[in-house]
Each structure stands twice: as C-alpha cells, then as structure tokens.
Amino acid sequence: MPATVFQPSKRPKKRATAKVTLWVKPVVKAELQRRAEREGLSLSATGAAFLGRAVQKSTDMQYGTLLEPIIERTINKHLRSRDSRLAFLLARGAYESGMTKALVLFVLKQNGVDQNRLKAMLDESSRKARTTLLRRTPQLETVLSEVAAWLEGNE
C-alpha cells in the first residue's frame, strides 16, 4: 500500500480566520442577509464584521469604564493644585489689603482727619473701587498674564 501524502487545501488563505457557528433569530439572519446583499458581501463576511464591531464596542466600554476614574483623578489633582494657588493669591490679597487699609486709617487719624471727613473718604474710595473693579488696563493685563503663567506652573 502506498503511503498517503497530506495535500494542503488549494484554497489560498487571505487572512487567519476561525469558524464560528451561531444560532440567531430569523429576523437577525434576514437583516444580515439584506445588508450583505446591499454591500455585495457574503453573509459570513457581514456577520463577522458585525460580531467584530460588537466585541470591539464591548472592549471599548470596559476600558472606558476604567479610564473614567483615572481621568477624574488627574483632573481633580490638577484642580487641587490650581485651587491651592488661587487660595494663596486670595489670602495674600485679602491680608495685604486689610493691612493697607489699617495703615491708611492710622495715618489719616494721626494727621487729624475727623470722623465725618474719614467716612466721606471711605465712601468715595469705595465708589471708585467699584467702578474700576472690572476695568482692564495694560498694567493689569501684564499682571494677569504673569499670574496665569504662575497658576500653570510655567514660572
């Protein structure tokens, strides 16, 4: 008896694939066939594409779920750092503003300014401060850009 020689399939392989047999509802099969005909593909290629997309979407959702807390943690860390810098600026500004006000009042009282005149000066300075509070000047723009760089940590 002659030895049997193994003959590989003569069909060329385009890509590595594996056979999967599935049972689906008739409406699912009909929709796959309809799409396959519309695209000029085989039912197998169309089903493989749909199944591949479903698996990819499921994988993406799993990684998306993991990425959300990582992104939140990174954003929160950055915001805490910025909040800390802003709190420093606010505290420093409030402290120095309070000191300046106390010193000015002390100097004015030492120079004999009476209570009525002092109240009028405070009212006028308050009015002027409100009108200029949101006005942007070239000097303020320079300071703002320096503070923005400091907040970003680019100093």
8 Å CB contact between 128 and 120: no
Is residue 2 over pLDDT 90? no
Amino acid identity of residue 101, one-letter, is K
CB atoms within 10 A of CB 20: 9
Task: Provide the pLDDT for residue 10.
Answer: 57
Number of CB atoms found within 10 A of residue 150's CB: 13
CB 113 within 8 A of CB 121: yes
Where exactly are the structural domains of the chain? 113-155
What are 25-56's pLDDT values in tens digits? Answer: 999 999 999 999 999 999 999 999 999 999 99
Handedness of CA 90, 91, 92, 95 (dihedral sign): positive
Closest-CA residue to 44 (of 34, 53, 32):
32
pTM above 0.85, yes or no: no
- Mean pLDDT of all residues in the chain? 86
